[in-house]
Each structure stands twice: as structure tokens, then as C-alpha cells.
């Protein structure tokens, strides 16, 4: 497994977190190395390097038969800059999991559409596995290590993801379909490009999304973008992650809750909605493999992975 800077740079203060992530991944049984751009001091604006240099390194990893998985060190604001530079043939010829959330969720959506690759909207190496995992309870860390190991190495369906008390039924019902989603701003923005996912990709899908930063009104607007695009008319269910650092959700009335925002935009669309699921910037993350079949029971509550995410 290679840890790579697919978006943001490595800052010196996060080197201990990265070392912790390496130790955890090795304890899980993976051989780990860093890609060359993952170095303190390498930076271009807000990125680890120019989009062309990041794409060149990523393509090298995609073509390397010894690399069996790639995990992003962190998110950021760079993936839009190199979507047109990715070697799609390399992915088709030798598909390998890419892990990460935030900006990396854009790669999952586009690469799944273009190649069928199952990307893992899962914890990043530095802020996630090396950071949020360390701050979580020992039992939870063990649960996540086992879950990620089975998902990345097993050829059997995982079944039900471990639910917690934070899961909330926002609208009851059941649904089955392919799991599609990511950071909601990336889902909305990519639809304005040549890499837009056709509506057929969302037909019967269970849409999952999360968001961090900005205003509650931005989330409302992004959901309306999905409504205008016809996506909300196609999906069979929705799973909403724990919001992080969104202004307007923690204030007293009359500010709406995230549940109220979601149900307001959905209107009379009779689909199950499960909120408060642990994926995204709030961390630590449950892995969400883009494109595999899942079963959602919002009232139980339960979210089950019905297919293996990798093949031998």
C-alpha cells in the first residue's frame, strides 16, 4: 500500500500522525511506503505539487504492478486540476483501490464512472488513521482495523456496518441499490463538467454524502443542485454523514437542523433517509465503497454492504 499526496501537502506538524498511520497499516498486515511527493517542504500553493506532477506520480502508481492499493495522505483542493491527466487504461488493466475522502471523493466518482473502479470513501492516512483513530476508544480502533482489513483483502460481502447511537432515522423505509456519493460539494460541482455522471448512474442508487465547512445554506443549495439535475428523482435512498464545522447548524432557532434541510429539499419524495452515520470529516470513518450494492433500512437502522469491494 502506498500513501500518496493526491491533493494537499504534508505539513511538518502532521509528520507524527503520518508515522502513526504507517504503523497502524503495517499492524493490519499491509506493506507500506510513501510516494515521493509525500515530503515535508514540498508544496505548490495549496497543493503538494502542480496538478501535472501529482497526476504523473499517481499514474506511476497505477501502472506499478507491485502497488496494490493507494491511500491519500490528506484531502485538499487539487483533484479537479488533473482529472484529464489520469491514465484510465492503467486502471482498467490493473484496478486497485484508492482510499480517501474530501477532495479524493471526486476521484472515486469520476473513476467509477469512467472505469468501473470501486473507490473507498474512507479515512485518509494522516488526519484519519493517524489522527482520529488514535483519539477514538480502543474498542472502536480495533473494530475499524478489522473492518478495513476485511474490506480490502476479503472477497466476501462485509454485511452490516457497525451502527451506533448517532444513527438517526430521518425518514423510514428500505432500499437496495449501488452506493453512490461523497462530499456533497464535489457531487454538485462535477455535474457542471465533462466528467458529470449520467443520471443512469443514480437510478436506484443509495446516495451518501457529507460536508464540512461553509454555511448550512450552502448545503441546502447543493441539495437543490442535485434536485435540479434530476438526481434526487432517481435515487432509492439517502445516507447522510455527520456534518463538520458547518455554520448555522449549531445555532438556536430559527436555524434549521440538517434533518430539516434534507427533508425540506426532498419534499414528498418517499425515500428512506438515514442520518448521523460516521463517515466524512468528523471522523473516524466507516468505509463507503462507491458502486457496490448495499441495503438500507433507515428505521432499524442498518446499512449493509451486499458485495465484496475487491477481487483477487
**Using one digit for the tens of pLDDT, what is the confidence trace for 276-285?**
999 989 889 9
pLDDT at 253: 66
Question: What gap in Å lies between CA 55 and CA 42, rounded to an integer?
Answer: 15
Residue 312 pLDDT class (50, 70, 90 cuts)? low
Q: Closest Cα to residue 83, out of 57, 60, 61, 52?
A: 52
Per-residue model confidence as pLDDT tens digits over 222-276: 999 999 999 999 999 999 999 999 999 866 766 799 999 999 999 999 999 999 9
CATH topology of domain 2-153: Rossmann fold (3.40.50)
In the chain, where does the domain assigned CATH 3.50.30.60 lie?
159-305
Place 311 in a pLDDT band, splitting at 50, 70 and 90.
confident
| Count of Cβ atoms closer than 10 Å to residue 186 Cβ | 25
pLDDT confidence tier of residue 303, bands split at 50, 70 and 90: very high
Residues 257, 121: contact at Cβ < 8 Å? Answer: no
Given a cut of 90, whether residue 18 has pLDDT beyond it is: yes
- Closest by CA to 131, choosing from 241, 213, 21, 23, is 21
Give pLDDT tens digits for 169-181: 999 999 999 999 9
Output the pLDDT for position 142. 95
Q: Which of 121, 106, 131 is nearest to 19 (CA)?
A: 131
Tell me what pLDDT residue 116 has.
Answer: 96
DSSP 71-123: EES---S-GGGGGGGS-HHHHHHS---EE--TTHHHHHHHHHHHH----EE--
**Per-residue pLDDT tens for 35-61?**
999 999 999 999 999 999 999 999 999
How is domain 159-305 classified at the CATH fold level?
Answer: Glucose Oxidase; domain 1 (3.50.30)
Of residues 166, 267, 260, 279, the one with CA closest to residue 226: 267
How confident is the model over 62-81, as a mean pLDDT?
A: 98
User: What digits encode the pLDDT tens for the residues 116-164?
Assistant: 999 999 999 999 999 999 999 999 999 999 999 999 999 999 999 999 9
Average pLDDT score over residue span 96-105 = 97
Residue 2, judged by CB atoms within 10 A of its CB (0-12, 13-18, 19+), counts as buried
Domain(s) labelled CATH 3.40.50.10740 in the chain stretch across 2-153
Q: What is the mean pLDDT of the chain?
A: 96
Mean pLDDT within 85-90: 98
pTM: predicted TM-score of the whole model, two decimal places: 0.96
Gap between the Cα atoms of 47 and 102, Å rounded: 14
Contacts of residue 197, Cβ cutoff 8 Å, sequence gap at least 6: 109, 113, 180, 190, 191
- Averaged pLDDT, 22-28: 97
Instruction: List pLDDT tens digits, range 192-203.
Output: 999 999 999 999
Question: What's the CA gap between 139 and 161, in Å, rounded?
Answer: 15
Beta 273-277 vs 168-171: how paired, if at all? antiparallel
Amino acid at each position: 500500500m502506498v500513501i500518496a499526496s493526491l491533493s494537499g501537502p504534508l505539513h511538518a506538524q502532521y509528520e507524527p500522525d503520518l508515522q502513526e498511520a504507517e504503523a497502524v497499516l503495517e499492524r493490519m498486515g499491509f506493506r507500506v511506503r510513501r510516494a515521493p511527493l509525500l515530503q515535508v517542504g514540498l508544496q505548490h500553493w495549496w497543493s503538494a505539487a502542480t496538478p501535472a506532477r501529482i497526476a504523473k506520480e499517481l499514474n506511476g502508481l497505477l501502472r506499478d504492478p507491485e502497488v496494490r492499493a493507494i491511500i491519500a495522505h490528506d484531502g485538499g483542493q487539487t483533484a479537479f486540476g488533473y482529472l484529464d491527466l489520469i491514465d484510465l487504461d492503467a486502471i482498467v488493466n490493473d484496478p486497485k483501490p484508492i482510499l480517501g475522502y474530501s477532495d479524493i471523493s471526486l476521484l472515486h466518482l469520476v473513476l467509477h464512472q469512467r472505469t468501473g473502479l470501486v473507490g473507498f470513501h474512507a479515512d485518509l492516512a494522516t488526519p484519519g488513521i493517524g489522527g482520529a483513530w488514535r483519539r477514538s476508544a480502543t474498542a472502536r480502533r480495533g473494530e475499524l482495523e478489522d473492518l478495513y482489513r476485511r474490506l480490502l483483502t476479503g472477497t466476501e460481502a462485509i454485511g452490516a456496518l457497525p451502527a451506533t447511537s448517532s444513527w438517526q432515522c430521518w425518514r423510514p423505509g428500505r432500499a437496495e441499490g449501488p452506493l453512490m456519493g461523497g462530499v456533497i460539494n464535489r457531487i454538485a460541482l462535477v455535474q457542471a463538467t465533462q466528467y458529470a455522471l449520467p443520471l443512469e448512474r443514480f437510478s436506484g442508487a443509495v446516495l451518501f454524502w457529507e460536508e464540512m465547512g461553509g454555511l448550512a445554506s450552502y448545503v441546502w443549495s447543493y441539495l437543490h443542485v442535485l434536485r435540479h439535475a434530476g438526481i434526487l428523482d432517481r435515487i432509492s435512498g439517502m445516507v447522510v454523514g455527520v456534518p463538520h464545522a458547518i455554520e448555522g447548524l449549531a445555532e438556536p432557532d430559527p436555524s434549521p437542523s440538517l434533518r430539516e434541510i434534507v427533508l425540506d429539499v426532498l419534499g414528498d419524495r418517499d425515500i428512506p433517509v438515514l442520518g448521523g452515520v460516521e463517515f466524512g470529516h468528523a471522523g473516524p470513518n466507516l468505509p463507503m465503497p462507491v458502486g457496490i450494492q448495499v441495503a438500507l433500512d433507515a428505521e432499524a437502522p442498518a446499512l449493509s454492504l451486499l458485495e465484496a469491494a475487491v477481487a483477487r
